[in-house]
Every structure is written in C-alpha cells, then in structure tokens.
Amino acid sequence: MSYTIVEQRDNIILIKINRPEARNAVNYELVTQLKEDFAEAESNEKVSVVIITGEGHDSFSAGGDIKYVSNLTPHEAIQYSSHVHELLNQIEELNKPVIAAINGYALGGGCQISLACDIRYATMKSKLGQPEVKLGICPGWGGTQRLARLIGVSRAKELIFTGKIIDATEAFRINLVNKVIYIDENKQKKMNFKEEDLKVVLNERLIDECINLAETMTRLDSNALKILKSLTNKARDLNTSSGKYLERLAFLSYLAYNKSHGPKLE
C-alpha cells in the first residue's frame, strides 16, 4: 500500500495523505513516506510550490493513529514523536511554499501538520481543533507553539485547554485558515446536493483554488520566494530590529544577484 499519492501538475506538486479508511490518521510509515515526498519536491528544481491534502472527502487528517500509538513502547513513542517533529520542521523549513488544502477534519496531529504549512485553505465542511486534552494528553508535535504564534496565545489556550473543535468559518475568523470555500445555500437547494455530493464538489473547488494560488506563485521568481519564506519564518523568533536587518541584507544580496544573473530592475 502507498501511504501517499503524489501528482505533479506543471510546477506544482500535490501530495495526498492516502489512508482514507483511517481518516488519514498518521502512523510511522506515513511519516516516512511524507518525508521522502517533501525531500523529492525540495530537490526538484522544476517544482515551485507544494500542496498537501487528504485522500477522500472527509478528512485532511484526523490526527495520530490512536490504535497504532496505543501499542507503542515508551521508546517507540519517543521515536514516533521525533519522526513527526522532523517531518513538520521539514515542511516548515522547505525552500518552497507549502499550501494545506484542508478537506474535512484536521484534528490533533492533522491540525498540527496544517500549522507547519505556509498557507491553509479549507471548505465550509472542514473542522479543526486540538482535542488531545479530552484524551488526557497534550499536543505533541509542536501544536502549542505553532498555534499560539498563528492565532495568539489566548485563543490558542482556549482551543487547547477545552479541546474544542471549530468549523472553518470560526477558523477563518481567528486567522487559523486563510480562506474558506463555500457553496451558496440556494445553489445547494437548486442543485439538490446530497451531503456526499456536496463534499465532493467542495473538495474539487478547494483543490482548484489552491492550484490557482500556487500558479500565481509559480509565475514569480523562485529564489525570491525562498528568501521571503525564510525571512517571514524568522520573524517569529527575532526582534523587529534584527528581522529588518536581515531583510536589508537579503534585499541587497538579491539586487546584486539580479544585476549579475537576472533581468535588470527598472
């Protein structure tokens, strides 16, 4: 069984988590495959943007595979957690933009995968949250840190302390997702959509929107995107003065590079 499905569309790589029978839950083998997929995308000079989504219509990823995790020894659990941390750091530090197309549930570890991405799009049927506290555990893959930095400490605490699962509209309101794909209620009635049909159409539109966004980026300079991603990532950890200093250095370096190798700036 292949734990992922990888499609290349011109300069865009689409990676699908392929465990729909388990709501795309994360086990060790899936993480291994995802690490390989992202490494290949990073080394492929023809690839400018990566999109990650879930196979099927119900789940981006429902989180860690509870059945798998419950059978781990303490040593194996540490290895598993480290393995996932490496993957999420790899996604976060990839030299190309990564877009999460959140089709359905993104809970626990699934939500944490999306947090490592640069941009998150969802549908009106998507649900997000960190419900680990309801299992008597805490987020273990950087969720407390990335969520707090993204939506603010107070809102992150509310979600993490309660294990609350929120819909995409609320996720957009608190800046957890960048965009939500809707289908108007009148159109739903007119088309006589069944629930499953609605999910299919929404997910198709979700991927189309992510592809459109990615195509916008592919028309831009890949070196500039690489620098911009690195600089904005560093903004979380540096004070403003240090961040602006790095930005000036990057700007001057890029001007010098373009003067020697690229088109003239006018």
Residue 107 in domain:
yes
> What pLDDT was estimated at residue 265?
41
Q: What is the CATH number of the domain that holds 235?
A: 1.10.12
- Asked if residue 103 and residue 16 are part of one domain, the reply reads yes
> What pLDDT was estimated at residue 39?
98
- Asked if residue 157 and residue 226 are part of one domain, the reply reads no
> What pLDDT was estimated at residue 128?
98
Helices (H), 94-142: 109-116
> What pLDDT was estimated at residue 126?
98
> What pLDDT was estimated at residue 103?
97
Per-residue pLDDT of the chain (266 residues; tens, 9 = 90+): 799 999 999 999 999 999 999 999 999 999 999 999 999 999 999 999 999 999 998 999 999 898 888 888 989 989 999 999 999 999 999 999 999 999 999 999 999 999 999 999 999 999 999 999 888 877 888 889 999 999 999 999 999 999 999 999 999 999 999 999 998 777 776 777 778 888 899 999 999 999 999 999 999 988 889 988 988 888 777 666 765 656 666 565 665 555 555 554 43
Residue 70 in domain:
yes
- Asked if residue 141 and residue 17 are part of one domain, the reply reads yes
- Asked if residue 257 and residue 192 are part of one domain, the reply reads no
Distance, in Å, from the CA atom of 69 to the CA atom of 151, rounded to the nearest integer, reads 29
- Asked if residue 250 and residue 167 are part of one domain, the reply reads no
- Asked if residue 241 and residue 140 are part of one domain, the reply reads no
Distance, in Å, from the CA atom of 79 to the CA atom of 33, rounded to the nearest integer, reads 16
Q: What is the CATH number of the domain that holds 72?
A: 3.90.226.10
> What pLDDT was estimated at residue 141?
86
Side chain identity at 249, as an amino acid letter?
A: L
In order of 75, 127, 209, 235, 264, the CA distances from 229 in angstroms are 35, 27, 21, 10, 23
Residue the block writes with tokens 């608190």: 174
Distance, in Å, from the CA atom of 248 to the CA atom of 235, rounded to the nearest integer, reads 14
Residue 245 in domain:
yes
Residue 254 in domain:
yes
> What pLDDT was estimated at residue 261?
56
> What pLDDT was estimated at residue 247?
67
- Asked if residue 59 and residue 176 are part of one domain, the reply reads yes
Total domains present in the chain = 2
- Asked if residue 252 and residue 139 are part of one domain, the reply reads no
Look up the domain containing 173 and give its range.
4-218
Distance, in Å, from the CA atom of 238 to the CA atom of 228, rounded to the nearest integer, reads 15
Residue 234 in domain:
yes
Q: Specify the DSSP class assigned to residue 26.
A: B
The pLDDT tens digits for 113-157 are 999 999 999 999 999 999 998 888 778 888 899 999 999 999 999
- Asked if residue 226 and residue 130 are part of one domain, the reply reads no
- Asked if residue 162 and residue 50 are part of one domain, the reply reads yes
Phi/psi of residue 182, each to 5°? -115, 160
Check: CB of residue 68 under 8 Å from CB of residue 128. no
- Asked if residue 249 and residue 173 are part of one domain, the reply reads no
- Asked if residue 229 and residue 214 are part of one domain, the reply reads no
User: 2 exposed, middle or buried (CB, 10 Å; 0-12, 13-18, 19+)?
Assistant: exposed
Side chain identity at 219, as an amino acid letter?
A: R
Residue 266 in domain:
no
Residue 112 in domain:
yes
Residue 133 in domain:
yes
Distance, in Å, from the CA atom of 100 to the CA atom of 79, rounded to the nearest integer, reads 25
